[in-house]
């Protein structure tokens, strides 16, 4: 009797502990699941990257005009000023467009930064692709240096007709050696 | 029964004297007592923090504490009350009552039981010691949202490891409850004869086992983000701070049912006793608790409607949330139907149980309002939310704990408590708690944000009313302590049955029960005679 109970307890405990482990793993599994979910839905406003050749093949929809607005910010304590040279541009879907951004390092030391993009509304994120962007790599500015940086993008003509305005925002974060390794990995995947 | 119990009692006292009895005990009643005393101490520590909060909010402007301390008070008040007061109290009740309710001699894993209790004082030493560190305690809110929480100073690793310890303790406690109920039920005690407190605790235990590890994972990610260069939640490194909210609330929503489900069980024991009528709809109560537990895993994003979700997500989480009202409504209707045309008497446990049904339902209704996406955009992060969760946690979970304490205190101590003082405690608590929390609905609807030490002058009047209610409620809890201390030290001798309408195995034991009870299983006939 005693040993039967002992056996039953052990079996139950090992099953429950397995459930604990599985749920701990599930918490971590939510990280890639969330990324996939965001890729599919464009939920967190991450925009896509395509090659210049692909962009050239996209047919331009001359009949339609989409307004693209630009927003910039820097993370708290990051010693740069950062602005777009134009606040908005009207584009035909399918046409490749170049816009310039300007950053100035206001501190007296060289600083590396990583820009993180976000597009609103998120439903449009899947239809917005870049062929060139300063956010693809880290940017380093010497003390007091000012630099103009390009973004070349295409709006996919399949963009849902009800969306007429897109807002593209960039935030500069301080790039650390380890954070940038992660950022570059995700750049290859996504931006 | 008491003959057999006394017989076993004779050769049952193997415990050491003094402090080492409590350090090394594996007896479910000793451990249950330690859990309950610990929880009461934490209730007063968390309560003292609430008093500091209400003192600062008594009038506009900064009077007594600086904003940093104020914020660490709101953060620690929540952590202490959730993980220190309510959850250990439920484990204490489970330890005391579940073996006696199912006719088992003890918990299935007594040594683990000792461990899971003794982790708690260490965890709270870690957590509360942060108040004395340079930089102060954690002040980013109990939800620990990055990037704000990552600005915590020295307190940060203490916060994370305290949460790890608390999670480990509650998982161990939950495994113990499941093992006890699955493997140690007396012959004849089938699953659908279990008292509802046992049923709701089993469901709670599974919620704990499934959700606590997710919290452990989330705080581990915070830890590695801060110290080891990972970027789970850092946008600069390709992460996303919103991801933390998803992981946290995947734990956080089951957690709120962990806090309330055992309360449903206690109220389902008390109302039939004082209504002298079997519980209406026993099996629907079991299924409703199961349905609530299942739904609790698919509604988490209603805590984050304003983060910018697609419309389909907002709609799904709104409908799933509102769906929880159905099984919860079943429970409320069953309690009311149990009281309907019954022979009720109004002893203190019954008063607290009836107040629970009324006031918890108010908290449930404000929860429904919050669950409706379009209006949540107005209510989000206002005092309306504070009012809502204090109605379900204070007049819900804490009132059920008090009801349960008054209900079983004569069984535990062998003495009747002071009924007059108990009634005074009930009435002062119930009136003051409404003065405390009801005006917070108005403050929230008028737009007062939560977690602020100072506020615009148009909120002054209701804040003053709320603070006065808070001080009265806080002070009236000393009456609770006086009742308990008096009852432990002496009083009229309690009968074995204690209450005229009491049904269930625990009432077949003597009052107080022998140190080792049900070393031989109870007669099947006594199981069938229960009111469940």
Q: Quote the pLDDT of residue B240.
A: 86
Token pair for B158: 């203490």
SS (HEC) of B432-443: HHHHHHHHHHHH
CA B41 vs CA B44, B89, B91: distances in Å: 5, 11, 15
Q: How many CB atoms lie within 10 A of CB B7?
A: 13
3-class SS of residue A154: strand
Would B488 be classed as within a structural domain?
no
Query: With an 8 Å Cβ cutoff, are A20 and B213 in contact?
Result: yes
- Taking the Cβ of residue A179 and every Cβ of chain B, the question of whether any pair is shorter than 8 Å is answered with yes
CA angle B118, B121, B125 (to 5 degrees): 145
Would B243 be classed as within a structural domain?
no
| Chain B residues with CB-CB distance to A43 below 8 A | 309-310
Q: Which of B204, B328, B395, B511 is catalytic?
A: B328
**Residue A140: φ, ψ to 5°:** -120, 130
Please identify every stretch of chain B with a pLDDT value under 70, giving residue numbers as ranges.
1-17, 528-532
- Taking the Cβ of residue A183 and every Cβ of chain B, the question of whether any pair is shorter than 8 Å is answered with yes
* Distance, CA of A136 to CA of A184 (rounded, Å): 7
Tell me if residue B106 is catalytic.
yes
Nearest chain B Cα to A27, which residue? B214
| Chain B residues with CB-CB distance to A24 below 8 A | 213-214, 216-217
Which of B229, B238, B314 is the best mutation test for A, with the most CBs of A within 10 A?
B238
* Distance, CA of B320 to CA of B330 (rounded, Å): 16
For the stretch A55-99, pLDDT in tens is 778 888 888 899 999 999 888 888 899 999 999 999 999 888 999
Query: With an 8 Å Cβ cutoff, are A30 and B246 in contact?
Result: yes
| Band of residue A109 on the pLDDT scale cut at 50, 70, 90 | confident
CA B212 vs CA B125, B146, B204, B209: distances in Å: 20, 19, 11, 6
Tell me if residue B328 is catalytic.
yes
Which of A11, A25, A27, A163 is the best mutation test for B, with the most CBs of B within 10 A?
A27
Tell me if residue B115 is catalytic.
no
Number of A/B CB contacts below 8 angstroms equals: 111
Q: By C-alpha distance, which of A107, A132, A96 is closest to A117?
A: A132
Query: With an 8 Å Cβ cutoff, are A179 and B183 in contact?
Result: no
Q: Quote the pLDDT of residue A177.
A: 53
Token pair for B226: 């801060």
- In the predicted model, is pLDDT for residue A180 greater than 50? no
For the stretch B278-311, pLDDT in tens is 999 999 999 999 999 999 999 999 999 998 888 8
Query: With an 8 Å Cβ cutoff, are A179 and B182 in contact?
Result: no
**Burial A19-43, CB ≥16 within 10 A → b, else e:** bbeebbebbbebbeebbeebbebbb
Range of the structural domain that residue B61 is part of: 18-194
* Distance, CA of B81 to CA of B392 (rounded, Å): 13
Tell me if residue B303 is catalytic.
yes
Locate tokens 């509360």: which residue?
B128
Would B124 be classed as within a structural domain?
yes
Would B62 be classed as within a structural domain?
yes
* Distance, CA of B247 to CA of A34 (rounded, Å): 10
- In the predicted model, is pLDDT for residue A1 greater than 70? no
CA B72 vs CA A160, B244, B450: distances in Å: 47, 21, 13
For the stretch A114-159, pLDDT in tens is 888 888 888 888 888 888 888 888 888 888 899 999 999 999 888 8
| Band of residue A176 on the pLDDT scale cut at 50, 70, 90 | low
Would B440 be classed as within a structural domain?
no
Would B379 be classed as within a structural domain?
no
ω into residue B494 within 30 of 0, thus cis?
no
Query: With an 8 Å Cβ cutoff, are A26 and B239 in contact?
Result: no
Total domain count, chain B: 1
| Band of residue A185 on the pLDDT scale cut at 50, 70, 90 | very low
Residues of chain B whose C-beta is under 8 A from some C-beta in A?
108-109, 171, 174-175, 178-179, 182-184, 209-218, 221, 229-232, 234-240, 242-243, 246-247, 250-251, 308-310
Would B469 be classed as within a structural domain?
no
What are the residues facing A67 on neighbouring strands?
A: A90, A165
The H or E element containing residue A68 is: strand A66-74
Which of A1, A8, A16, A126 is the best mutation test for B, with the most CBs of B within 10 A?
A16
Q: Do the Cβ atoms of B274 and B203 come closer than 8 Å?
A: no
| Chain B residues with CB-CB distance to A44 below 8 A | 240, 242
Q: Quote the pLDDT of residue B14.
A: 56
- Taking the Cβ of residue A182 and every Cβ of chain B, the question of whether any pair is shorter than 8 Å is answered with yes
ω into residue B147 within 30 of 0, thus cis?
yes
- In the predicted model, is pLDDT for residue A191 greater than 50? no
Would B365 be classed as within a structural domain?
no
Q: ipTM value of the model?
A: 0.87
Q: Quote the pLDDT of residue B529.
A: 52
Q: Quote the pLDDT of residue B409.
A: 96
């Amino acid at each position: 009797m005693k040993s039967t109970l002992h056996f039953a307890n052990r079996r139950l405990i090992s099953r429950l502990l397995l459930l604990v482990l599985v749920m701990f793993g599930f918490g971590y599994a939510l990280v890639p699941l969330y990324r996939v979910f965001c890729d599919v839905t464009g939920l967190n406003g991450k925009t896509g990257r395509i090659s210049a050749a692909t962009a050239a093949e996209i047919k331009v929809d001359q009949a339609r005009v989409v307004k693209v607005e630009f927003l910039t910010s820097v993370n708290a304590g990051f010693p740069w000023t950062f602005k777009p040279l134009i606040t908005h541009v009207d584009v035909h879907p399918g046409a490749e467009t170049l816009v310039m951004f300007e950053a100035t390092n206001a501190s007296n030391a060289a600083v590396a930064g990583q820009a993180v993009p976000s597009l609103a509304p998120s439903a449009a994120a899947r239809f917005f692709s870049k062929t060139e962007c300063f956010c693809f790599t880290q940017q380093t500015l010497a003390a007091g240096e000012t630099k103009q940086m390009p973004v070349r993008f295409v709006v996919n003509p399949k963009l849902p007709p009800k969306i007429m305005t897109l807002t593209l925002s960039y935030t500069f974060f301080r790039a650390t050696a380890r954070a940038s390794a992660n950022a570059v990995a995700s750049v290859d995947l996504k931006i | 029964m008491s003959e057999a119990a006394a017989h076993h009692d004779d050769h049952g006292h193997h415990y050491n004297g003094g402090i080492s009895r409590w350090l090394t005990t594996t007896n479910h009643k000793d451990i249950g007592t330690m859990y309950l005393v610990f929880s009461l101490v934490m209730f007063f520590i968390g309560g003292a923090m609430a008093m500091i909060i209400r003192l600062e909010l008594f009038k506009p402007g900064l009077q007594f504490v600086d904003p940093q301390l104020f914020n660490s008070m709101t953060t620690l008040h929540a952590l202490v009350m959730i993980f220190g007061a309510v959850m250990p109290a439920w484990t204490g009740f489970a330890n005391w009552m579940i073996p006696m309710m199912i006719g088992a001699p003890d918990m299935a894993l007594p040594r683990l039981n000792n461990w899971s209790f003794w982790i708690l004082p260490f965890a709270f030493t870690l957590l509360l010691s942060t108040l004395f560190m340079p930089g102060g305690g954690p002040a980013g809110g109990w939800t620990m949202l990055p990037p704000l929480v990552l600005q915590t100073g020295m307190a940060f690793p203490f916060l994370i490891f305290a949460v790890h310890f608390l999670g480990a303790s509650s998982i161990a406690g939950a495994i113990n409850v499941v093992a006890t109920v699955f493997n140690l039920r007396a012959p004849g005690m089938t699953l659908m004869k279990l008292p509802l407190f046992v049923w709701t605790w089993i469901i709670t235990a599974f919620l704990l086992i499934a959700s606590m590890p997710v919290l452990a994972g989330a705080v581990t990610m915070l830890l590695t983000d801060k110290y080891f260069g990972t970027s789970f939640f850092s946008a600069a490194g390709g992460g996303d701070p919103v991801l933390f909210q998803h992981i946290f609330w995947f734990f956080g929503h089951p957690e709120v049912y962990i806090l309330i489900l055992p309360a449903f069980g206690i109220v389902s024991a008390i109302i039939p006793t004082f209504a002298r009528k079997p519980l209406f709809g026993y099996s629907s109560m079991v299924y409703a608790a199961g349905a609530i537990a299942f739904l609790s895993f698919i509604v988490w994003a209603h805590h984050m409607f304003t983060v910018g979700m697609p419309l389909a997500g907002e709609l799904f989480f709104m409908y799933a949330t509102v769906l929880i009202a159905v099984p919860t409504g079943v429970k409320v209707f069953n309690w009311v139907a149990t009281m309907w045309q019954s022979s009720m008497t109004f002893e203190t446990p019954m008063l607290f149980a009836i107040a629970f049904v009324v006031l918890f339902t108010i908290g449930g209704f404000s929860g429904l309002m919050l669950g409706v996406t379009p209006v949540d955009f107005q209510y989000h992060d206002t005092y309306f939310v504070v009012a809502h969760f204090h109605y379900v946690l204070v007049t819900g979970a804490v009132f059920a704990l008090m009801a349960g304490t008054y209900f079983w205190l004569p069984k535990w101590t062998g003495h009747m408590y002071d009924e007059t003082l108990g009634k005074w405690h009930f009435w002062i608590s119930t009136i003051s708690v409404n003065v405390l929390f009801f005006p917070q609905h108005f403050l929230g609807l008028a737009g007062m944000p939560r977690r602020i030490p100072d506020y615009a002058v148009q909120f002054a009047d209701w804040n003053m009313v709320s603070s006065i209610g808070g001080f009265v409620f806080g002070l009236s809890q000393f009456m609770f302590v006086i009742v308990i201390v008096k009852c432990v030290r002496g009083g009229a001798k309690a009968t074995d049955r204690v209450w005229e309408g009491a049904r269930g195995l625990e009432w077949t034991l003597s009052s107080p029960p022998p140190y080792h009870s049900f070393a031989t299983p109870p007669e099947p006939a006594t199981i069938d005679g229960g009111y469940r």
